[in-house]
Amino acid sequence: MAASYNPSIVETPIYEWWEKNNFFSPGNPQNEPFTIIMPPPNLTGALHLGHALTVSIEDALTRWHRMLGHDTLWLPGVDHAAIAVNALIEKQLREEGKSRHDVGREAFLDRTWAFVEANRSRISTQHKRLGASADWQREAFTADAERELSVRTTFKNLYDDGLIFRAERLINWCIGCRSAISDIEVEYDDEDGSFWYIKYLLDDESGESVTVATTRPETIPADVAVAVNPNDERNAHLIGKKCVVPTTNRIIPIIGDDAIDIELGSGALKVTPAHDQIDFDIGERHGLEIINILNPDGTLNELAGEYAGLSLDATRQLIVQDMENLGLIERADPYTHAVGHCQRCSTIVEPLVSEQWWVDAKHLAKPAIQAVTSNQINFVPSRFQKTYLRWMENIRDWCISRQIWWGHRIPVWYCADCGHLTVSITDRDSCESCDGVNINQDEDTLDTWFSSGLWPHSTLGWPKELHEDLKRFYPTQVLETGYDIIFFWVARMIMLSIYNMDGVPPFDTVYLHGLVRGADGKKMSKSTGNIVDPLEAIETYGCDGLRYALISGTSPGNDQKLTDDRLESGRNFANKLWNAGRFVISLREQHKDKITTAYSEPALEDVWISSRLAELTEEVDRLLTNYELSEALRQIRDFFWDDFADWYLEIAKIRIRNEDYTPLTVLTETYEMTLRLVHPFMPFISEEIWQRLQKSIVGSNEQQALIVASYPNSQEINIKKEPDVLDQFDAIQEFIRSIRNIRSENKVDTARKIECFIVTSEYTNEVRNLSDAIKSMTRIDPLHIVSEVNQAPTDQVVSQVTNGGTVIVPLGGLFDLEVERKRLNEDLQIIRQEIERQNQKLDNREFREKAPEPVVQKELDKLEAAKAKAVSISARLDELITD
RNA sequence: GGGUGAUUAGCUCAGUUGGUUAGAGCGCUUGCUCGACACGCAAGAGGUCGUUGGUUCGAAUCCAAUAUCGCCCA
């Protein structure tokens, strides 16, 4: 084995071997299932660190459950990302000087499918590189034939139930995508603008005017009324009169409406129902006409009169200028207002009235709210339950039609003869009402989230209700994703799954992770240049190193910064595992014939490491059950590095050097179990070493698999847990640390062996049993074990008092009386402060009465220990003074 | 404006039923070729847990204000 771990030559062959052996598919039909459906990444672009985090978490949960023996399925897939891919292909076309309309729908889709095929395989290759133990045989695609069937079936059922309908309403029109988008696809940014106060002249001889305040003068050509509050003394008398729209000179009514904010602006609002939600509502209440002045490309249409053909920006400048020339502008105040931008293409979104397909979200939300309030679905962390409920309780109808070509085409056919509308799961060539063949399918496609909303059951075979997977794996256990898509995805899945699956929610637990940010704390993006490519990180640090870094940096729902430091410590941990394994295996090979499996009389350290391991397995089980992955990993690391490698292994070395080969058994068992514990987090290195270790244990060349080995359980540890041993070993560690500290503080040459006295009555046996280890680890010789301080010399010695006794090291010529006196005085100071604190605590009558007994006892013990320490230190000080 | 999160060592973060001497990694100081590992070993230094007030025998932890930064929604 190489002296350092080289992940790049280990990882790929192991993954291929796992896959070849079909370990990723569920294979324990007799056991209870555990299912995670993978959030399908978008087809566009490469996988980023967010995906790497998703994989790290979901794979850890999957591997853990697989090792627990569950019938485990992690089902992968890809999302067709309708708008994003459509935009990407359109961009390609634009670069060739063409539009999608130039090439036509069919050629456009051919081209898109070619892109899709190329990218799908790249995404699964990258997932495999991240070590995802997902069942690739079941890989799904939101736009494949099975999923199309589920989409159309859902559409048809919702339509038949009256929950999908077509209506003309105000929608968000993305000028870049040339499509409607849903409310949550609009992102608002504050932008500086102006609040213009504009005079609308009354349509009479009075010469009077009403002053309207607006941030959007460019929509003036679409005005159909001016509204004032009937309670507004300034304006109420105008109600019922008419006024003239500036520049276009149409005559419009002045109406009264309670909803008008008297305080805002001039108190008079121009009403533009086609281009503003509030105005649209006012228009509905008053039966106003709707004038839409926008073309799909964001320019103004012929209804805008002289401004037709101009952009909104250009119109604003021009119309303001025109009105100024007419003396209609009273003033313009600086004003900050929220401007909507498209989530996908960042261009400005315009409110606009249009006929679209809608889902009655309020109706679907009811049982989806119920599923969460009744705790059928739980959020981790729980605070996101509130986020979810708040949104669901205020949900608005969901606009699902998109004027783009890439996506699920709306399964609706319009009859030119009778006007009937046929909604069908299968393609139609005749009208279901009049049988006429003069029908056309709806040109629009569905919101990409409509198909991903079906994901938990569409991937398992729905609507084929007898599908084995659906029966076996629905509902799933965990849905793991980023908190940024609770509304887009999680909420829709809950609504649509409950609707399609007879009221059964799609999963029990929603685990939400945070964003992975750059080392600078900013969101990773190309423009800030702080992107870490997961594949590059894998090249440098290994897949396990990356996964370690991601898992150890994450806690549910919180963002994390990924730094090189953390990646390095992941790589270092992998290397540490590797080297310990290398050492254990080489020891076994060297002493093959001396290994026994009997440990009738385990040594203190054997019992200690076994007890610690038992504690660890119980703790890891508890933590993983509570989704505290980073804490579980941290504890495994600490156990392995501190307890196993730095203490147990070091002592074992000494024993083996002294021809005591019994530690080899515990050494191997502990190390082997550690590999199993760490496997869900660092699958490659653990599998690699585990297999080598198995060969050395079993002695056969048959390749075994850690991935399907059992997850450690404290019951399987041969040496049972003994709580007393933890204290005993702790005392030994303290003695060793004290001696090392004395050596270091007094600058005793590393190589030089010195004499030492350990004064203890409580731990005499333990010190005696471990004396070889103590001597070797501290380079002392001889070691005297005595029960009284007066059995040790007092001249030119340095001493340190521990909880288990006192360490006394004669230093001879290296001894510095002043240094030692100073140090002892400092120690005494500290211990006296502690005694003070303890006394204060214990003198408090209320504490002694109200605190639980064990807590009081613990404080009493601490006081006693501190007092004993103080006595020893003062005694030693007295000796120094009398010297 | 409403909601929500963060604020703990120089940096990045743990601290999940209130009871430790407040922990880790990185960085820092000192010393190390004792049978794996310098991606390592050993010994250290470093924190009045944002501020104020409250609840409690006891608060980093619970409550209320407040400040700063962030996110979501309107």
Amino acid letter for position A113: W
* Average pLDDT of chain A to the nearest whole number: 92
Q: How far is the CA of A12 from the C1' of B35 (A)?
A: 33
| Amino acid identity for residue A792 in this structure | A
What band does A181 get if pLDDT is binned at 50, 70 and 90?
very high
DSSP annotation of A640 reads I
In this structure, are residues A747 and A720 in contact, taking their beta carbons and an 8 Å threshold?
Answer: no
Protein-to-nucleotide distance from the CA of A7 to the C1' of B35, whole angstroms = 26
AA identity, residue A455: W
Q: Name the nucleotide with the smallest C1'–CA separation from A800.
A: B43
Rounded CA-CA distance A656/A664 in Å is 8
Nucleotide nearest to A384 (CA to C1'): B4
SS3 state of residue A519: coil
Residues A437, A429 contacting (CB under 8 angstroms): yes
CA of A514 to C1' of B68 (A): 22
Which residue is nearest nucleotide B39, judged by alpha carbon to C1' distance? A572
pLDDT tens, residue by residue, A605-617:
999 999 999 999 9
Task: Give the DSSP letter string of A32-77.
Answer: PEEEEEPPPPBSSS---HHHHHHHHHHHHHHHHHHHTT-EEEEE-E
Nearest to A480 by CA among A587, A379, A337, A585: A379
Token code pair at residue A638: 């600490």
Q: How far, in Å, CA of A101 to CA of A94, rounded?
A: 11
Could you tell me how many residues make up chain A? 883
Task: Among all protein residues, pick the one whose CA is nearest to the C1' atom of B3.
Answer: A387
Please report the pLDDT score of residue A262 as a whole number: 84
Examine the pLDDT at A766 and tell me if it is beyond 90.
yes
Protein-contacted positions of strand B (CB under 7 Å): 3-6, 11-16, 19-21, 24-26, 30-44, 56-58, 72-74
Proportion of chain A above pLDDT 90, given as a percent: 69
Alpha helices in A82-225 (DSSP H): 82-95, 100-103, 105-129, 145-160
Amino acid at A173: W
Mean pLDDT across the stretch A5-30? 94
Answer yes or no: is pLDDT of A596 > 80.
no
pLDDT band at A882 (very low <50, low <70, confident <90, very high): low
Residue A510 pairs in a beta bridge with A379, A479
- Closest-lying nucleotide for A488 based on CA to C1': B72
Q: Any idea which nucleotide's C1' is nearest the CA of A742?
A: B43
C1' of B25 to CA of A312 (Å): 55
A847/A277 Cα distance (integer angstroms):
63
Q: How far apart are CA A24 and CA A215, in angstroms?
A: 58
pLDDT tens digits, A283-317: 989 999 999 999 999 999 999 989 999 999 999 99
Task: Give the pLDDT of residue A599.
Answer: 65
Based on DSSP, count helices (H) and strands (E) in chain A, helices before strands: 28, 29
Q: Which residue has the higher pLDDT, A545 or A527?
A: A545
Cross-strand partners of A482: A513
Cα–Cα distance, A53 to A678 (Å, whole number) = 17
Per-residue CA distances from A640 to A604, A635, A734, A764 (Å): 18, 8, 19, 28
Q: Whole-number Å distance, CA A422 to C1' B58?
A: 72
Look up the protein residue whose alpha carbon has the minimum distance to the C1' of B73.
Answer: A391
d(CA A695, CA A185) in angstroms, rounded, equals 56
The DSSP H or E segment spanning A95 is helix A82-95
In the complex, which nucleotide's C1' lies nearest to the CA atom of residue A520?
B12
pLDDT band of A145, cuts 50, 70, 90: very high
Q: For residues A240, A242, A243 and A248, what is the CA-based torsion angle, rounded to 10 degrees?
A: 130
Please give the structure tokens belonging to residue A521. 């704390």
Torsion, Cα A83 A84 A90 A95, to 10 degrees, reads 160
Measuring alpha carbon to C1', the residue closest to nucleotide B14 is A631
Q: How far is the CA of A565 from the C1' of B40 (A)?
A: 17
Q: What is the pLDDT of residues A641-670, one digit of tens each?
A: 999 999 999 999 999 999 889 899 999 999
pTM score, two decimals? 0.94
Count of C-beta atoms within a 10 Å radius of residue A464: 14
pLDDT exceeds cutoff 70 at A883: no
pLDDT score for A795: 87
A598 falls in which pLDDT band (50, 70, 90)? low
Worst-scoring range by mean pLDDT, A78-87, A152-161, A813-822? A813-822
Specify the nucleotide whose C1' lies closest to residue A749 (CA): B31
Average pLDDT over residues A631-637: 93
Gap from A798 CA to B20 C1', Å: 28
Name the residue with the least CA to C1' distance from nucleotide B32. A750
Neighbours of A852 (CB within 10 A): 8
Neighbours of A517 (CB within 10 A): 17
C1' (B46) to CA (A102) span, angstroms: 69
Percentage of chain A beyond pLDDT 70 is 99
Nearest nucleic acid nucleotide to A847, CA to C1' distance:
B57
**Ranked by mean pLDDT, which of A407-416, A461-470, A526-535 comes out on top?**
A407-416
Complete edge-to-edge strand list for the sheet that includes strand A268-271: A242-244, A251-256, A225-228, A268-271
Instruction: Order across the sheet with A797-802: list the strands.
Output: A780-786, A754-759, A805-810, A797-802
DSSP string covering A376-442, please? SSEEESTHHHHHHHHHHHT---EE-EES-SSSPBP-EEEETTT--EEE-SS--SS-TTT--S-EEE-
Integer distance in angstroms from CA A616 to C1' B62?
Answer: 30
State the CB neighbour count (10 A cutoff) for residue A787. Answer: 12
**Per-residue confidence (pLDDT) for residue A760, from 0 to 100:** 93
Which tens digit of pLDDT belongs to each residue from A188-210? Answer: 988 888 899 999 999 888 888 99
Is the model's pLDDT at A473 over the cut of 70? yes
Write the pLDDT tens digit of every residue in A237-260: 999 999 999 988 999 999 999 888
pLDDT digits (tens, 9 = 90+) for A308-329: 999 999 999 999 999 999 999 9
| Shortest CA to C1' contact from A581: nucleotide | B36
Q: Looking at residue A82, what is its pLDDT? A: 92
Q: Which two tokens stand for residue A849?
A: 């009465």
Distance A516 CA to B28 C1' (A): 28
Alpha-carbon gap, residue A712 to A116, rounded angstroms: 42
Q: Which nucleotide is nearest to A751 (CA to C1')?
A: B34
Q: Which residue is nearest to nucleotide B24 (CA to C1')?
A: A634
In chain A, what is the straight-line distance between the N-terminal and C-terminal CA atoms, in Å? 58
Task: Calculate the angstrom distance between C1' of B57 and CA of A836.
Answer: 17
DSSP A463: T
Whether the Cβ atoms of residue A684 and residue A14 lie closer than 8 Å to each other: yes
Please say whether the beta carbons of A511 and A380 come within 8 A: yes
Separation of A561 CA and B54 C1' (Å): 36
CA-nearest of A311, A306, A307 to A296 is: A311
